[in-house]
Structure 1
Amino acid sequence: MTGAGTDKSKTGFDLDSPVVILVEPQLGENIGMAARAMGNFALSRLRLVNPRDGWPNVSAERAAAGADHILSRVELFDTVEQAVADLDLLFATTARAHDQAKPVMAPDAAAAEISGHIAAGGKAGILFGRERWGLTNEEVARANRIITFPVNPGFASLNLAQAVLLMGYEWFKLATGGALPFAMPERSVRASQHQLDAFFENLVRELDRVEFLRPAEKRDTMLVNLRNIFFRMEPTKQDMHTLHGVIMAIAEGRKGPAKGGVLDGAQATRLRALLAGHGQGAPASDSAGSVRGLARLLRRNPTDAERLLWQALTRDRRFAGQFKRQTPVGRHIPDFVSFVHRLAIELVNRDETDVVAADRVARRAWLESRDYRVIELRVADVERDLSAELDRLASNLSAAP
């Protein structure tokens, strides 16, 4: 995740921080990674005591991952005595007991004392030792306090940059009050009880259709459990919209020309013939629910000609937004209908059966009796010269009273 959290457009913290002193660091990479850790937590003052490979160091610059503002201000010293001469509170980090009579502190306690000391106008520093053997007894003796980390005693050695990062984290957390840089955005207000109830009613209705809530004696308990699942979520209004869409998508099946629950063009043509043959294309009942269900089925399974004509109607400015496809008009479902123009379009397939033709004739009579004009377009003509058929349709619209 190198650089994943870096946003150069944001202004960083400029805090009075303790001095970080690396004693005889052996690898340039460790210096660079320590500088990077310092940059993470607004530690800006880095001192090096006699780095083994000299200074400046290309390896350090590469490993710093953009912490150039720290490396460019590095202070070099020949001895620890020189590096700490101006400090009045010094901490030595070590994983080993040096048998010296001075306070031993955890990183959080040390960070608290450092913060208070700097706030009072003092100068504090933290010593970090060599990668291989840390600090000597003499160097630890110069410190006022010892910092050690609560680590696995069987494997206590920390990488130099890791030790710097742990101390930097504890100090920065105190200096900034532990405030996180961002929080979860509130993208939508919390859903109301009314919205939750509406969603739940929709869910239960669809579950009843697939006979999920059984046996009957367990129905009430299942409903309570389901309601608790969604009410515990404390969903937002947007969550409710999404969940409504999920339920409807599952209930209605996949849409569009894709396979898997949706027929291809030839199969869709046979489906319409089958529906007409069984009298389902023009149901005798005025049940709005069954007609709407049939309309959804037909919309999900367009014939090739229907798909071709629908794409043209939605893209051509003469017709865009004026037509609907496979939409109930009373108890009948024309292929296309414009409520604005009270016009229905019927597609006439090749070699259609007498039953299909009779079904279409009955539908036309029913629509015309209710002041709808019906235009018949032959599938062969639509596929051969769609542009001419669209011009004919436009002429019919312009000639309408």
Structure 2
Amino acid sequence: MPGAGTDKTKRWIEQPGPVVVLVEPQMGENIGAAARAMANFGLGRLRLVKPRQGWPNEKAVTMAAGADRILDGALLYETLAEAVADCSFVIATTARHHDQHKPIIDAVEAAREMAPRVSAGDTVALVFGRERNGLENHEVGLADRILTLPVNPAFASLNLAQAVIVVAYEWFKLAGRDAVREDEPRRSPPVGKQQLGAFFRDLESELDKVEFFRPAEKRETMTINLHNIFTRMELTQQDVRTLHGVIMAIAHGRKGPARGGTLDPQAAEELRGIIADHGAGTVLQERAPVKGLARLLRRNPTEAERTFWTALTNDRRFAGLGFKRQVPLGPHMADLVSIPLRCVVEIVPATETDTARDMRPVRHEWLAARNYRVITIAAADVEKDVKAVLDDLAPRVSAADQA
């Protein structure tokens, strides 16, 4: 005969619901009590992050009082980030706000926000922190919402299972009415924390390259703030793919005719003509150095330059000779230069402006006066047979090395 409210003759309610995540629970009894609370209100998925007393735990089984199926299905993780990697919406329960700009909600509002997402098939997580000190700042940073219960401010700490049962009750009360449905299907599912985490890692890597995180002691705070900006957006998987493409395009150039640059081949040729005019003093009547254009030129090679540079860097005969592309030398820009060899290689295009043609001997004279040897190569020859060009260039560079 069933007793104490547990009736195994009745159907166990199984319906979609949020995942409950317990972060480093201290005692097995608390895990068992939390599982019992989950069973009371139809929550079946439990995830544990590094339980202090190990797992499985007999005390948890005893305290669960029949909610064994929840404990049997519990999943173990090393970090909270791993535990919520597949989740698109995460609510962190904490009595402290952690000075993070996130929406702060109660259990009723949490149920309302979770219901349409769960109904749509999303994986949603309710995260509960350690019994003594709750969640760390970076862990709250993974959440989309902060859930705080209205309690006596002089005694705000709830037992772990008590916190679980309050939130689970509000969830079951709403979900049991099947109240919230989405009218229109979404074009893209919400992003999971794993995909979002990969985006953050790439973003931080690119920001590191430009020394964005300064001063160093503020890096953690700046990183959390960045995470919070994006989590507040409730991004979809397609949103993150688009944002990831934007970041990579800014950092490395878009994929297109220039194969990693920002200009097509014709525009790249025109750019070099403008630079030649600039060096001759016909643009704005000045001959300022063109150092600021070196990076742009390196990212936007012509077809001949790209072909030649790729072949040269893969040819062992030129390994270790120190050749670099688009290096400013005084007011001039060298197509390729080896500073150790004092050797400049120029790729002469099939068509060029009169100014560029007239500037060539002036540039060569300037370089010769500074002990640079100039070797000219026709772009047409490169496009016809780059191997033959390199075969001809190798002994000439070798002569420069010996000199």
Give the TM interval when normalised to the shorter protein: 0.3 to 0.5
Q: TM-score with structure 1 length normalisation? A: 0.43
